[in-house]
Structures are given as structure tokens and as C-alpha cells.
Amino acid sequence: MKNHDDPSGYWRANVRLILGCLVVWALCSYGFAILLRPLLAGIAIGGTDLGFWFAQQGSIAIFIIIIFFYAWRMNKLDKQYGLDEE
């Protein structure tokens, strides 16, 4: 499906994807590590509580996963709008 005539649709989808990725990253790095840490204190992972894990390693791991997800999803979006580099 080629949508060459709708560049604004491409950018809307791109910005929506970016905002979604940022929300997930903020939830994991700020929400789980700081705001929800007391709720996660009873869950042990790697010798420490889950809230501390999110603060130290989890937010970085989630960020790396988001990078790969964003690249995969943008490739699909580029193909959808006929902008892929085959």
C-alpha cells in the first residue's frame, strides 16, 4: 500500500510512534523506579528489589529495547508510505 500523497499522515504516525515510545520509557524509568518503587520493594530480582533494578538497569534495558522496536516499526511505516530503501 503506497501513500505518496499523504506526507502529513506519515509524520502523524511517526510522531505518534515517538510519543508512545517516550511514554513507555518514562513509565519504566520514572514511574517504576521512583513513583512505584514502594510497591515493587517486595519483589526481588538479582538480589535487590525490582524498583531499584528499574532505576539502575531496567530503564537502560527498556531504552535499548525501544530503540530496536522503533527501528523495526519505522521500517514498516516507511514501507507502508512507499519511503523504504530496498
Residue 86 pLDDT > 70, yes or no?
no
User: Does residue 22 belong to any structural domain of this protein?
Assistant: yes
User: Does residue 45 belong to any structural domain of this protein?
Assistant: yes
pLDDT at 72: 96
Distances in whole angstroms, Cα of residue 70 to Cα of each of 16, 41, 66, 84, 85: 11, 31, 6, 15, 16
User: Does residue 31 belong to any structural domain of this protein?
Assistant: yes
User: Does residue 2 belong to any structural domain of this protein?
Assistant: no
Residue 4 pLDDT > 90, yes or no?
no
User: Does residue 15 belong to any structural domain of this protein?
Assistant: yes
User: Does residue 49 belong to any structural domain of this protein?
Assistant: yes
pLDDT (tens digit per residue) in 33-75 = 888 888 888 888 878 888 888 788 888 889 999 999 999 999 9
Q: Which amino acid type is present at position 47? A: G
User: Does residue 17 belong to any structural domain of this protein?
Assistant: yes
Domain range for 50: 7-80
The three-point CA angle 33-39-43 to 5° equals 85
Number of domains composing the chain: 1
The three-point CA angle 29-74-83 to 5° equals 160
